[in-house]
Amino acid sequence: MPTYAELGKEELTTLKTALTEEYETYKAQGLSLNMARGKPGSDQLDLSMPMLDILPSSNDCKAENGTDIRNYGVVDGLPEAKKLMASMLDDEAENTIVFGNSSLNIMYDTIMRCWVFGTLGATPWSQLDKVKFVCPVPGYDRHFGVTEAFGIEMVTVPMTNEGPDMDAVEKLVANDSAFKGIWCVPKYSNPGGVTYSDEVVRRLASMKCAAEDFRIFWDNAYTVHHLYDDAAQQDQLLDIAKACTEAGNPNRYFKFASTSKVTFPGAGVAAMAASPENVAEIKKRMGVQTIGHDKLNQMRHVRFLKDADGIAAHMAKHASIIRPKFELVLKMLEEGLAGTGCGSWSNPRGGYFVSFDAPEGTAKHIVAMAKEAGVTMTGAGATYPYKNDPKDSNIRIAPTLPPLEELESALKVFVCCVKLASVEKLLEA
């Protein structure tokens, strides 16, 4: 079968007519479907409902160290909560701080501390003429929103199948002290599902940085979000803390994780891990900001999830729900688009997204057409800083929220829109 680009004008015109008719039938159905944000489906949320009953009024409200969890105190988190979250962060409890419900909130506050106070004696970023961040693309839109809010200049580097293009990263940070950090979603990345290779992790840890206070923002949001139970089908990630320590840069990283998609989004527990020096400084700043976060919620999570094995068992239940959805996405993209030359897509083993690259100059049109036909998707350009995808190509597919039957309907519309936009682009040439 020839690709669409190999077809003649007459063949393309005939194809456009047929695709337009198909598209109009979808529009006439009055659909209201959503493949936009990476939200758990209701059946995933149901998995954690027993957690709401785990701390009744008759229950013991004492932590393992005797702390009354109903009262003020414990700025860095309950000891058992630190152990639980340390298992997600691949770190030690003493290097872990437990916060509130959102790792995004922690990352914002971490930027704010660097901005106002600096870090470990370095000049506060707000006092510098220019601050820059390395942004692997496509990437997480909310990361870009944080740095944009501070007026930090975002410089992109392409993602590869092993992580950020390290030649590009190293070139940027080696000679320009304005570069202060890099955004990383290192395991099952948003949106491409890439897990950083050992080489990439070691190069990030050991690379020459003109700025002594350069920091790796290691947002390991999907660390436990495997699609498959078999360990051979699960990605493994080298620990950035170990790599930085071995490279002689023990303070270079900040690690983040949360239970946002493990239990309840908006009602989970978030934490960060860092070097002892960074942790001491962060706790000092936090002591002015808060007397302690929600210890009742920390305890609910500890008693429900228990430990790393408990988290793994719980996440296996999540996987059984979302795996068929990812398999459906890949099946329908393959059946509908393979051989057409109308796009390429990722095949992740975990996380929450499939990254789709449409023909250059068509992504915004595809998303707009899908919207008009009743299918809401993440805005084209969202996976790039300033919402500017220079190729207008990348589209993030989020399959977890809709039930399977709705997802199938949404994908039919999406495939049709991709084909139609591709044909229109070729006819314009």
**pLDDT tens by residue, 239-279:** 999 999 999 999 999 999 999 999 999 999 999 999 999 99
What pLDDT score was predicted for residue 247? 98
Task: Give me the domain span that covers residue 29.
Answer: 4-44+313-428
Same domain, 170 and 290: yes
In a domain, 364, yes or no: yes
pLDDT > 90: what percent of the chain? 98
Last residue of a domain, which of 269, 286, 306? Answer: 306
Q: Based on the domain organization, do 178 and 290 belong to the same domain?
A: yes
167 and 236 within one domain = yes
Are 341 and 290 in the same domain? no
Mean pLDDT of the chain: 97
Do both 145 and 249 map to the same domain? yes
What tens digit of pLDDT does each residue of 157-178 get? 999 999 999 999 999 999 999 9
Shared domain check, 250 and 212? yes
Chain-centre distance for alpha carbon 391: 22
pLDDT band at 1 (very low <50, low <70, confident <90, very high): confident
Check whether residue 343 and residue 251 sit in a common domain: no
pLDDT digits (tens, 9 = 90+) for 19-54: 999 999 999 999 999 999 899 999 999 999 999 999
- Asked whether 205 and 359 are in contact (CB, 8 A), the reply is no
* 301 and 319 inside one domain: no
What is residue 235's predicted lDDT score, i.e. its pLDDT?
98
Mark which of 306, 327, 345 sits at the end of a domain: 306
Q: Which residues contact 233 (CB under 8 A, 6 or more apart)?
A: 226, 227, 349
Give me the mean pLDDT over the 116-141 stretch: 98
- Residue 58 within a domain: no
Quote the pTM value. Answer: 0.97
pLDDT tens figures, 324-355: 999 999 999 999 999 999 999 999 999 999 99
Q: What pLDDT sits at residue 60? A: 84
CATH of the domain at 372: 3.90.1150.10
Closest CA to 134 of 157, 165, 161, 159: 157
When divided into structural domains, the chain yields a total of 2
Q: Who contacts 323 (Cβ-Cβ below 8 Å, separation ≥6)?
A: 227, 228
The reported pLDDT for the residue numbered 85 is: 98
Residues 153 and 274 in one domain: yes
* The pLDDT value given to residue 260: 96
Q: Dump pLDDT digits (tens) for 383-429.
A: 999 999 999 999 999 999 999 999 999 999 999 999 999 999 999 98
